Amino acid sequence: MTLDGPTPREGAALLGPAGRDILRAIEAARDFLAAHSEEELLERVGDTIEEVPAVEHLSKEVFQASYGGRKAGPPDDILTGLGHFFITEQRRLYLDCTGGHYQMTWGYRHPVLCAALAEAERLGIVWDAHSNIPGATVKSLSYRLVELCNPGVEGLDRCDATGVDGPDRLNTVLLGICTGSVACSTALKIMLARHRERTTEPPVVITLEGNYHGTDIFAQSMRGMWPGLIDGAEFVNLEPNDLPAAEAAFRRYGSRVMGFMCEPVMMNREAILVEGDYMRRIRELCDEADALLAVDEIQTGFWEPGCFHFKRWGITPDLVICGKGMAAGIHPLSAVIYRRPLDVLAQYDSISTNGNAPLAAYVALHSIDMIEGDAERIAAAARATEAMAAAVAEEFPDRVKAVHGSGHLTGLKFHRVEDALRLHQRCVERGVWVRAHAYHEGHSTVLCKFALTAGPRAIEFLGERYRDLLAQG
């Protein structure tokens, strides 16, 4: 069958009057990145790449101010990228030390994932479908997530129902959602529904100070936004790793606690690592209070050999939330993996129309397979990142107070906020794309979360840059 439709217009025409020039610049940047080795690119980080034509790029005048709208100066947004490098509209080459916005698991345009996309099209795998008919790749990804959360359980890798039984196993998947915010709100709604089943007392959610579980109003209320808006629930924020405070909170609220929610590495609060001992005790406290334990693995889930950080703790949460890099940035896709007795929501209680996407799920399967196949190299890069950060901290103890995080997710915590901001600014000026947490009282950390493509050379390069720039005072 052939499909009717208008004669397609040239893509350039869709980008406005300068479209042809813009696409030419993207292609030239693509060719530049493809033609150079990692070492050659590292040597040119921060340079203006003359091989890319200078053209007039689109402004962000119509953008919301917080997204760069009405910002003075020429636009300097992304042209294209490859792995952990990107080139901007002002033709500058950057080393991307944050995996895009922490979601580009394999960096930009990884050839294996590009090939998977092309193969999916050749095979006829559809982009999306009605969520009642999710397709083989979505179903397969669901089994894969259950398999990853229940290591060693027979049968799950065969995509059959063997091994999914049992009320204590993480054996149920809600994959019909796109963004992490919807995944977090799903977990919270499950907690709420479960709480309502067992008591009429107003619920208490216990979280960590500096939590970020997305942009849903309930999740935002948990971090102190919209005070007074939600008065049927109480939010208690604890300092991470402070066990006496956790014990006191559970003692105080008892059966009112509907659940505890945290991310393993607080990428929204200076990359603070939540310790295994702490989480093991939290598990016990949740059990004693008959409360649920939800772990937000949106940042950590796919940045770990073997996937999912919670497995290091030797406990099983009631709900595991993942998203961000699950489909390596190709399309938003997130999931909540939970125990069967918690399967209490109806379809329209929690859904994103684009959630059950067969194409994105196909790419996610490839990405997970790559993470497993590359586990040794990923583990080595995690160790190298930690060692690099530790060496920088040791060399500049008057400025660096501590190394935060774990593995790929690291933060250099500074004594003074100005030092963190200065290092961040100098890094970006020199083409090293790191981020800083310095916009909240007491925050003074430079963050890094390399894509999994980054190896020893890129990590060493970042360490050298940190040292050079800190040595400048």
Ligand X SMILES: Cc1ncc(COP(=O)(O)O)c(C=O)c1O
Neighbours of 50 (CB within 10 A): 9
Q: What ranges make up the beta strands (E) of 230-369? A: 234-238, 257-262, 265-266, 272-273, 292-296, 319-322, 334-339
Residue whose CB is less far from ligand X, 116 or 266: 266
Residue whose CB is less far from ligand X, 163 or 317: 317
CA distance 433 to 450: 10
Question: Which span sits near ligand X by CB under 6 A: 81-89, 207-215, 386-394, 439-447?
Answer: 207-215
DSSP-derived letter for residue 304 is S
Between CA 459 and CA 422, with CA 467 as vertex, the angle to 5 degrees is 105
Q: How far is the CB of 226 from ligand X (least distance, A)?
A: 17
Question: Which span sits near ligand X by CB under 6 A: 13-21, 114-122, 295-303, 381-389?
Answer: 295-303
Reduced to 3 states (helix: H, G, I; strand: E, B; else coil), residue 401 is strand
Q: Is 296 near ligand X (CB under 6 A)?
A: yes
Count of residues that interact with ligand X, criterion CB under 6 A: 15
Q: How far is the CB of 138 from ligand X (least distance, A)?
A: 18
Q: How far is the CB of 207 from ligand X (least distance, A)?
A: 11
Q: How far is the CB of 183 from ligand X (least distance, A)?
A: 7
Q: How far is the CB of 340 from ligand X (least distance, A)?
A: 24
Q: How far is the CB of 39 from ligand X (least distance, A)?
A: 32
Residue 113 burial (10 A CB sphere; 0-12, 13-18, 19+)? buried
Residue whose CB is less far from ligand X, 169 or 213: 213
Using CB under 6 A, which residues numbered 324 to 343 contact ligand X?
324
Using CB under 6 A, which of 212, 303, 310, 450 touches ligand X? Answer: 212
Q: How far is the CB of 122 from ligand X (least distance, A)?
A: 30
Question: Which span sits near ligand X by CB under 6 A: 144-152, 175-183, 233-241, 273-281?
Answer: 175-183
Residue whose CB is less far from ligand X, 268 or 385: 268
Instruction: Label the pairing between strands 85-88 and 78-82.
Output: antiparallel
Residue 310 burial (10 A CB sphere; 0-12, 13-18, 19+)? buried
Residue whose CB is less far from ligand X, 149 or 156: 149
Q: How far is the CB of 268 from ligand X (least distance, A)?
A: 6
Joined tokens for residue 364: 């996610």
Is the CB of residue 324 less than 8 Å from the CB of residue 289? no
Q: How far is the CB of 42 from ligand X (least distance, A)?
A: 28
Using CB under 6 A, which residues numbered 254 to 293 contact ligand X?
263, 267-268
Using CB under 6 A, which of 131, 181, 385, 410 touches ligand X? Answer: 181
Residues 6+ apart with CB under 8 A from 383: 407
Q: How far is the CB of 334 from ligand X (least distance, A)?
A: 6
Joined tokens for residue 405: 């995080």
| Residues 351-370 as x/- pattern, contact with ligand X by CB under 6 A | --------------------
Using CB under 6 A, which of 83, 163, 176, 214 touches ligand X? Answer: 214
Is the CB of residue 176 less than 8 Å from the CB of residue 358? no
- Residue 356's closest CA among 145, 135, 123? 135
Neighbours of 39 (CB within 10 A): 10
What Cα–Cα distance (Å) separates residue 198 from each residue in 119, 185, 193, 207, 452?
Answer: 49, 20, 9, 21, 43
Using CB under 6 A, which residues numbered 137 to 156 contact ligand X?
none
| Residues 306-325 as x/- pattern, contact with ligand X by CB under 6 A | -----------------xx-
Residue nearest to ligand X as judged by C-beta position: 180
Question: Helix 243-253 crosses helix 276-289 at what angle (to 10 degrees)?
Answer: 10
Using CB under 6 A, which of 33, 184, 370, 389 touches ligand X? Answer: 184
Q: How far is the CB of 411 from ligand X (least distance, A)?
A: 14
Residue whose CB is less far from ligand X, 153 or 261: 261
- Residue 138's closest CA among 301, 326, 297, 359? 359
**Cα 458 to the center of its chain, rounded Å:** 20
Residue whose CB is less far from ligand X, 142 or 179: 179
Joined tokens for residue 118: 């092309």
Sheet holding 400-406, edge to edge: 400-406, 409-414, 445-449, 435-437
Residue whose CB is less far from ligand X, 92 or 269: 269
Q: What are phi and psi of 28, to 5 degrees?
A: -65, -40
State the maximum Cα–Cα separation within the chain, in Å, rounded to a whole number.
Answer: 70
Q: How far is the CB of 301 from ligand X (least distance, A)?
A: 10
Q: Is 190 near ligand X (CB under 6 A)?
A: no
Residue whose CB is less far from ligand X, 29 or 368: 368
Joined tokens for residue 327: 């489909």
Question: Which span sits near ligand X by CB under 6 A: 111-119, 198-206, 211-219, 306-314?
Answer: 211-219
Residue whose CB is less far from ligand X, 181 or 406: 181
**Cα 368 to the center of its chain, rounded Å:** 14
Interface residues toward ligand X, by CB under 6 A = 179-181, 184, 212-214, 263, 267-268, 296, 298-299, 323-324
